[in-house]
Amino acid sequence: MIGASSRSVPKQRIGSYVLVEEDDDMLVYALEDDSSEAVNTREDVHPQRVRRQAHGSINTNPDGSSNVAAKIPIARGDSNVLSAIGSVNAANGKGGFSSAGGGLAWDNIKGHGATLTASRIPGVADQLTAAGKANLFHDDHHDITASAFATRTFPDKPNFPTFDTYGGKVGYTFNDKIGASLGAAHTDLFKKTDYSAMGNLNLFKDRTSSLDLNAGWSKSVSPYIPNSRWEPSGEIMKFVYALFCFIAAVAAQDILLESYPVWYITPQDPIEQYQRHRRDVTFDHKTDNGRVFGTLGQNDAGLFGKGGYEHNFFNDHRGKLDGQAYGTRVLGPYGDSSHLGGALNWRNDNAAASLDVSKMIHGPTSVTAGAGGAWPVGKNGDFSLQGTYGKTGGYNSEFGGLAKYNYRF
């Protein structure tokens, strides 16, 4: 990817606000008084970043074409910025492109905004789109934003009528790391409504790089689609493949060999107890309250790769609770498969419990749960209790339990 940017930053103070440059953005602060003395009484108007300078980007596609985008402020006030925006996608340098457009954008320091754009898709249609967003709630940890849009499409074919598409979305973000959104869009001509449920997770971020997971499900409902169902979004598999490449690249620089983790319950099958322990290539990078992890290895199902993010919710008198989001790719003699899932793991000094839900792409959903504990009985004894449950779509449930008392003479 090739990137370029330009900006013009005025050194000024506007009304009762002061602009402070940080990275590529301008932070807007309010002052309680207008004295020239240095005071520590400034209050954030809103912890949103508002670009107040010209900004542009250029990047290249695998086929050699380029994408160009620019945003240039043309009017600004104490809390609002009006900008001209434009973009050209897949420009081949010979006058050809896949789409191009331009318009106006309004941004407010409280997180509100709106755009009005016109775009051209050569040989297909012209489009006119109005969109807006409103920040409903924001504090140090939580953000809720609602957005809506309406698009009118003018097809190039004279016998094809003009049609409208409109929709909206509500999104939630926690600590700028974990987010979720629900959206819907309707196209009147095709009597088609699209629904989406998406999630995003920032796995790693520093001043120069970021690794994010964006995954979700979508469904289209129309009289012309008799058997509609929720399907994973197309970006899921792209992320899984990219994540495995990322893990392999980092692991090649700093390889750590570990045994593949197993649950704390001792196998009861005598054959299992004497199987050779597997040794896998494992990557582990700690972040704030979590870690990015990955494993490349082999088991009875074939070659596998697993990568994801683990977040610690608490570690105190209540015990320790961790949550995971992960993706797995298996290459086996009976076919390949891809899985996406999440897990919760809790433990304290005497007990532990886990819940794992995974979905095979174009396959069934599996749920596994386990819990157990050991408690002392007198000076020389202890009592342990364990239980497991498993369910895969299309198959019967599996469950088991074990209670045991040990006495040491």
- pLDDT per position as a tens digit, 239-264: 555 555 544 444 444 333 333 333 33
Contact predicate 251/281, CB 8 Å: yes
Flag whether 221 is in a domain: no
Flag whether 226 is in a domain: no
Q: Of the given ranges (40-44, 50-54, 178-182, 314-318), which has the lowest mean pLDDT?
A: 40-44
| Cα gap 204→310, rounded to integer Å | 11
Q: Please, how many CA atoms are within 13 Å of residue 118, restricted to the half-sphere of its CB?
A: 2
Res. 234: pLDDT tops 70: no
Decide which of 57, 92, 127 is a domain's last residue.
Answer: 92
List strand residue ranges (DSSP E) for 288-380, in order: 290-299, 302-316, 319-332, 335-347, 351-360, 365-377
Flag whether 22 is in a domain: yes
The predicted pLDDT at position 206 comes to: 64
Q: For the segment 55-113, what is each residue's pLDDT rounded down to a tens digit? A: 777 877 777 788 899 999 999 888 999 999 999 998 888 888 999 999 999 999 999 99
The predicted pLDDT at position 145 comes to: 96
Flag whether 352 is in a domain: yes
Percent of the chain exceeding pLDDT 90 equals 31
**Mean pLDDT of the region 272-278:** 43
Query: Which residues have a Cβ under 8 Å from the Cβ of 231 and sit 6 or more positions away?
Result: 217, 218, 219
Flag whether 285 is in a domain: yes
Flag whether 103 is in a domain: no
* DSSP letter (8 states) at residue 122: T
Decide which of 32, 62, 92 is a domain's last residue.
Answer: 92
- Give the residue with greater pLDDT, 264 vs 337: 337
- Which conformational region is residue 393 in: left (phi greater than 0), alpha (psi within -120 to 50 degrees), or beta? beta
Decide which of 92, 123, 154 is a domain's last residue.
Answer: 92
Flag whether 354 is in a domain: yes
Contact predicate 85/104, CB 8 Å: yes
Number of domains in the chain: 2
Res. 221: pLDDT tops 50: yes
Domain holding 382, by residue range, is 280-407
Res. 129: pLDDT tops 70: yes
CA angle, residues 206, 209, 213, in degrees to nearest 5: 100
Nearest by Cα to 111 from 173, 198, 68: 173
Res. 142: pLDDT tops 80: yes
Flag whether 1 is in a domain: yes
**3 state SS of 251:** helix
Q: Of the given ranges (34-43, 118-127, 186-195), which has the lowest mean pLDDT?
A: 34-43
* Length in residues, the chain: 409
